[in-house]
């Protein structure tokens, strides 16, 4: 206990000591190692390296010097840490993929963008660049404060007098304690342009410092980060946020070119510029691993063809791959193609770490330059006045040269001569000393004139320097002139392109936009398959397996839609759901698919009645739909308590009527509904653009009725309705007024007993109608043979429903360029070209479209399909190779399709 209280020992709680020690360590790391100074943009180690090289005379016009010597000098005088850290810092200053404006000119192996290490410092050599010398210019003119080094053996600058805003130009990255900085590099010319404008307009807002491409008003100003590796930055908004707040996340993308081989037709994705700070070799290796693990598809080869001429990373796609989808997947999963940069503009400002926006950063630099130029001017003025003082003494001596020589000769020693001169000619001690040291050659007439001329020049310089110190405007003018000089000598073209707005890639961006055959079974199973899986056959062919069905199930609906299209699913209960085609399960051609109830929440005894595909829903329509939905949702609020029902019923009915009227008067396009019992309704598409997860009421349907057809009306097309008994009616669409979602509709056709509607089309002149019967027969007739009547009539005969034909199952509007897919209740599908079906009259029996060979087999549906052209030939080759057990040319397995 006595020892603990001795004068040399201070008792301290361990937690207090640890807290204080850690704070001291934290501040040492923050201020003295990890973070750059806001004025010169350098960390202490980089500043010491540059100053040591400058002191050693390693200038841009001198010979290279071994890096080992530089590292040793820095360690010896300024930086008492590991040699590896000093050398790594030196190497970074010479790497063109890390710094936008190089400060060290390296000779030898200084590493690579692939992460290769630099050679040992005994092999490499370096010297300062001209731009680095601009950072050190005037350092010998008392422009900055010098502090003692770690052992008080010498001094070092606390900051460099840099002539350009290095923190923004070259950026900085460092992890301190509890904080980190990550400043992206910028273009030197743009940064200086904004800096000059801020000097002239100190109250200018941020937008006045930015180029118009970034939403600013200053042409040639800052356009955004300009990264050493080039590439693309996606989005202006994150850059503006970074410049305003000092924090932001930038999305960087590689610069990509698509090259197509004219012989094979295959595309090659070529990367010529990569995101900043991405290890190219490691990123390419990661892509190869993802291809091997089948996380990335559609890639057949991957190689790095980079050389001294530049970066060239090559990704070859498979023959059947969609290049855009492959590229989007690479953007999503590979840092070589897309990466993020978490920017933080954090630096040491007046001894404290601060996060600053771009304008405050430039203001700190300008204040630093004002201080540097002021101190330099004072230094130059002092030196000029000292020189003027000596020159005035020379002038007096030359004016009295004979007398002065006599005085000197008569003096016994130097001190007496100096005293005599000061006394006789009113000279200072400095002047007298200079006269005594003056060489005899200065006594010539020519030298005398030089002294007079020099005196005049020095006096002019003094006048100018005094004016600078007394005028803020002149002082700032000097700063601007020096900035322009650096801009003229060192600025170069911008490397990084700023493009569009940043957005996350959706699932749809990663999915090929291709046509799909969507089938829906009677039992409610749905699936999709590529159109190319079903190749075209001649009229009357036997078809190809389209789906595996059970004895009590059969294909009921079939249509073709893009994977990116919207699906509006209408049920027999009058509700509508919203899906994307790519959200449907893709199964094999003979697979059953997935129950619709697993995709949308269908109620008891509710089944899918019709589907409508819409390529896109315009934002305007979506907004209208949302507004109408809100109005109707209010009208469809929960039923009030019995005691309140009478009071609120009238208001609820009025709200519903107002909502439906708003939808009805909405501008087109419209959706046209036709039911099995012949009712028709027309409602604006905007009413269905934003269905609720639980479904949205689309129309009211009576118990003994069901939805048969849903059509997307884009103009003033006529409506044609066909029935199972072979009747058809045509009338103008405008005869059906626009109605709200909950309306029943009006009569479209009057049906005979036992008859029902099988299809409806919105027709236009020049096309034809294809009618298909359940026994596999059909016909094609021009629209003009169906005369226009009025809504609600019985119609005219379309096709004879004889015992040979059976009942009508489908009526389609087609053109010669299209193809038709016909499906039976046994799961057989045939694809035939419309042009192969002859044009015949309206009241006829038609020709055979599909050969029904199985007992009880009936046609249950038909739909249009796009023409396959070259894709059809490719499908034929794949089928033949699958039958022969061969693989495709690109090594991918065959699709396994076979004829039935």
Q: What is the β-pairing status of strands 497-499 and 232-234?
A: parallel
* pLDDT over 60 (residue 100): yes
Q: 673 and 721 in contact (C-beta within 8 Å)? A: no
Residue 163: alpha-carbon gap to chain centroid: 34
- Portion of the chain with pLDDT greater than 90, in percent: 49
Confidence class of residue 873 from pLDDT cuts 50, 70 and 90? very low
Across the range 510-519, mean pLDDT stands at: 77
User: In the structure encoding, which two tokens stand for residue 228, read together?
Assistant: 């050493």
Q: Is 243 a catalytic residue?
A: no
* pLDDT over 60 (residue 622): no
Confidence class of residue 646 from pLDDT cuts 50, 70 and 90? very low
Q: If we measure between CA atoms, which residue out of 637, 630, 641, 629 comes closest to residue 653?
A: 637
Residue-level pLDDT at 589: 66
Q: Which of the following is catalytic: 123, 243, 777, 786? A: 123
CB-based contacts of 825, cutoff 8 Å, min separation 6: 549, 554, 555, 856, 857, 858, 859, 860
Place of tokens 């028709």: 680
Residue-level pLDDT at 809: 92
Q: If we measure between CA atoms, which residue out of 890, 161, 174 comes closest to residue 486?
A: 161
Confidence class of residue 895 from pLDDT cuts 50, 70 and 90? very low
* pLDDT over 90 (residue 277): yes
* pLDDT over 60 (residue 625): no
* pLDDT over 60 (residue 621): no
Residue-level pLDDT at 502: 58
Residue-level pLDDT at 78: 95
**Chain segment 221-239, per-residue pLDDT in tens:** 999 999 999 999 999 999 9
Across the range 545-568, mean pLDDT stands at: 67
Confidence class of residue 260 from pLDDT cuts 50, 70 and 90? confident
The residue extents of the domains of the chain are 42-161, 255-336, 513-868, 869-900
**Lowest-pLDDT choice from 69-83, 358-372, 864-878:** 864-878
Strand, helix or coil for residue 740? coil
Residue-level pLDDT at 522: 62
335 vs 27, more confident: 335
Residue-level pLDDT at 667: 62
Average pLDDT of the chain, as a whole number: 84
**Lowest-pLDDT choice from 774-778, 809-813, 872-876:** 872-876
Strands (E), 658-706: 670-675, 679-684, 696-697
User: In the structure encoding, which two tokens stand for residue 682, read together?
Assistant: 């027309």
**Lowest-pLDDT choice from 223-237, 469-483, 521-535, 825-839:** 521-535
How far apart CA 739 and CA 754 sit, in angstroms, is 29
Confidence class of residue 699 from pLDDT cuts 50, 70 and 90? confident
Across the range 328-333, mean pLDDT stands at: 91
Residue-level pLDDT at 698: 85
**Chain segment 358-404, per-residue pLDDT in tens:** 999 999 999 999 999 999 999 999 999 999 999 999 888 888 888 88
Confidence class of residue 514 from pLDDT cuts 50, 70 and 90? confident
Confidence class of residue 325 from pLDDT cuts 50, 70 and 90? confident
How far apart CA 77 and CA 52 sit, in angstroms, is 9
Across the range 421-440, mean pLDDT stands at: 87
Residue-level pLDDT at 659: 54
CB-based contacts of 403, cutoff 8 Å, min separation 6: 424
How far apart CA 264 and CA 787 sit, in angstroms, is 52
* pLDDT over 70 (residue 276): yes
* pLDDT over 70 (residue 466): yes
Q: If we measure between CA atoms, which residue out of 794, 900, 813, 797 comes closest to residue 862?
A: 813
User: In the structure encoding, which two tokens stand for residue 641, read together?
Assistant: 């308590």
**Lowest-pLDDT choice from 271-285, 416-430, 684-698, 836-850:** 684-698
Q: What is the β-pairing status of strands 757-763 and 819-824?
A: unpaired
How far apart CA 392 and CA 412 sit, in angstroms, is 26
Which H, E and C letters describe 39-88, residue by residue? CCCCCHHHHHHHHHHHHCCCCCCCCCEEHHHHHHHHHHHCCCCCHHHHHH
**Chain segment 721-763, per-residue pLDDT in tens:** 999 999 999 999 989 988 888 888 999 999 999 999 999 999 8
Which H, E and C letters describe 456-504, residue by residue? HHHHHHHHHHHHHHHCHHHHHHHHHHHHHHHHHHHCCCCCCEEECCCCC
* pLDDT over 70 (residue 354): yes
Name the CATH topology of 42-161.
Topoisomerase II; domain 5 (3.90.199)
Q: Identify the CATH assignment for 255-336 out of 1.20.1050.10, 3.90.1170.50, 3.50.50.60, 3.30.1360.40.
A: 3.30.1360.40
- Portion of the chain with pLDDT greater than 70, in percent: 84
CATH architecture of 513-868: 6 Propeller (2.120)
Distances (CA, A) of 753 to 615, 725, 750, 772, 774: 39, 10, 10, 21, 20
Q: What is the pTM of this model?
A: 0.68
CB-based contacts of 300, cutoff 8 Å, min separation 6: 266, 316, 317, 318, 319, 890, 891
Residue-level pLDDT at 894: 33
Confidence class of residue 15 from pLDDT cuts 50, 70 and 90? confident
**Chain segment 111-141, per-residue pLDDT in tens:** 999 999 999 999 999 999 999 999 999 999 9
Across the range 687-704, mean pLDDT stands at: 80
* pLDDT over 60 (residue 649): no
């Amino acid at each position: 206990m006595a020892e603990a209280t001795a004068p040399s020992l201070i008792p301290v709680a361990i937690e207090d000591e640890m807290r204080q020690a850690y704070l001291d360590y934290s501040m040492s790391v923050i201020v003295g190692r990890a973070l750059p100074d806001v004025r010169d943009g350098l960390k202490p180690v980089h500043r010491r390296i540059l100053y040591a090289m400058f002191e050693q005379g390693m200038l841009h016009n001198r010979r290279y010097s071994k890096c080992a010597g530089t590292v040793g000098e820095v360690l010896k005088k300024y930086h008492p840490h590991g040699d590896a850290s000093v050398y790594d810092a030196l190497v970074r200053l010479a790497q063109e993929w890390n710094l936008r404006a190089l400060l060290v000119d390296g000779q030898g192996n200084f590493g690579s963008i692939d992460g290769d290490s630099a050679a040992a410092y005994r092999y490499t050599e370096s010297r300062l660049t001209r731009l680095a010398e601009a950072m050190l210019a005037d350092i010998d003119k008392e422009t900055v404060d010098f502090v003692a080094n770690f052992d008080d053996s010498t001094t070092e600058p606390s900051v460099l007098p840099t002539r350009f805003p290095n923190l923004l130009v070259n950026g900085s990255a460092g992890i301190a304690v509890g904080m980190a900085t990550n400043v992206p590099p910028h273009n030197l010319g743009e940064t200086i342009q904004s800096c000059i404008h801020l000097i002239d307009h100190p109250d200018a807002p941020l937008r006045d410092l930015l180029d118009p491409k970034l939403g600013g008003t200053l042409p040639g100003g800052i356009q955004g980060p300009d990264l050493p590796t080039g590439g693309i930055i996606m989005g202006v908004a994150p850059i503006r946020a970074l410049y305003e707040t000092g924090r932001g996340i930038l999305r960087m993308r590689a610069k990509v070119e698509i090259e197509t081989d004219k012989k094979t037709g295959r595309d090659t994705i070529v990367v010529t510029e990569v995101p900043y700070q991405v290890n190219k070799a490691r990123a390419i290796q990661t892509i190869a691993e993802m291809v091997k693990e089948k996380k990335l598809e559609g890639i057949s080869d991957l190689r790095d063809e980079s050389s001294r001429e530049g970066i060239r990373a090559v990704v070859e796609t498979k023959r059947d791959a969609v290049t855009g989808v492959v590229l989007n997947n690479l953007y999503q999963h590979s840092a070589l193609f897309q990466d993020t940069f978490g920017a933080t503009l954090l630096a040491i400002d007046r001894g404290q770490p601060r996060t600053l926006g771009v304008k405050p950063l430039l203001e700190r630099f300008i204040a630093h330059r004002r201080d540097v130029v002021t101190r330099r001017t004072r230094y130059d003025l002092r030196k000029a006045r000292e020189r003027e003082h000596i020159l005035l003494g020379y002038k007096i001596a030359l004016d009295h040269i004979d007398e002065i020589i006599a005085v000197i000769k008569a003096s016994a020693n130097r001190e007496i001569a100096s005293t005599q001169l000061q006394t006789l000619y009113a000279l200072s001690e400095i002047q007298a000393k200079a006269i005594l040291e003056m060489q005899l050659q200065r006594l010539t007439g020519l030298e005398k004139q030089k002294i007079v001329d020099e005196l005049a020049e020095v006096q002019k310089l003094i006048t100018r320097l005094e004016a600078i110190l007394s005028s803020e405007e002149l002082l700032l003018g000097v700063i601007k002139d020096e900035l322009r000089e650096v801009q003229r000598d060192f600025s170069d073209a911008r490397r990084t392109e700023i493009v569009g707005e940043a957005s996350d890639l959706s699932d749809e961006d990663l999915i090929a936009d291709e046509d799909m055959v969507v089938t829906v079974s009677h039992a409610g199973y749905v699936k999709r398959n590529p159109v190319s899986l079903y190749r075209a056959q001649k009229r009357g062919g036997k078809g190809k397996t389209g789906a595996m069905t059970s004895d009590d199930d059969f294909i009921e609906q079939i249509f073709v839609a893009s994977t990116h299209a919207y699906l509006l699913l209408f049920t027999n209960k009058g509700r509508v759901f919203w899906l994307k085609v790519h959200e449907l399960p893709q199964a094999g051609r003979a697979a059953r698919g997935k129950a619709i109830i697993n995709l949308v929440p269908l109620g008891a005894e509710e089944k899918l009645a019709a589907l409508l595909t819409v390529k896109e829903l315009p934002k305007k329509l979506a907004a209208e739909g949302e507004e109408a939905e809100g109005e109707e949702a209010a009208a469809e609020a929960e039923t009030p308590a019995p005691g309140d029902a009478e009071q609120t019923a009238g208001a609820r009915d009025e709200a519903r009527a107002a909502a439906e009227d708003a939808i009805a008067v909405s501008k087109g396009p419209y959706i046209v509904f036709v039911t099995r019992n012949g009712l028709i309704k027309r409602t604006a598409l905007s009413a269905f653009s934003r269905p609720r997860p639980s479904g949205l009421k689309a129309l009211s349907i009576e118990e003994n009725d069901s939805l048969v057809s849903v059509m997307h009306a884009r103009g003033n097309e006529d409506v044609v309705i066909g029935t199972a008994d072979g009747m058809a009616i045509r009338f103008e669409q405008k005869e059906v007024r626009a109605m709200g979602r909950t309306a029943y509709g009006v009569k479209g056709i009057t049906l005979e007993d036992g008859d029902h509607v099988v299809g409806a089309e919105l027709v236009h002149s020049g096309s034809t109608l294809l009618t298909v019967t359940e026994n596999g027969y059909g016909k094609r007739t021009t629209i003009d043979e169906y005369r226009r009547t009025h809504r609600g009539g019985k119609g005219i005969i379309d096709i004879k429903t004889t015992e040979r034909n059976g009942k009508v199952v489908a009526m389609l509007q087609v053109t010669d360029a299209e193809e038709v897919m016909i499906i039976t209740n046994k799961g057989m599908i045939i694809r035939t070209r419309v042009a192969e079906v002859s044009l015949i009259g309206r009241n006829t029996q038609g020709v055979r479209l599909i050969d029904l060979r199985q007992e009880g087999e009936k046609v249950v549906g038909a739909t249009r399909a796009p023409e396959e052209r070259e894709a059809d030939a490719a499908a034929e080759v794949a089928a033949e190779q699958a039958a022969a057990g061969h693989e495709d040319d690109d090594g991918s397995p065959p699709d396994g399709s076979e004829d039935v």
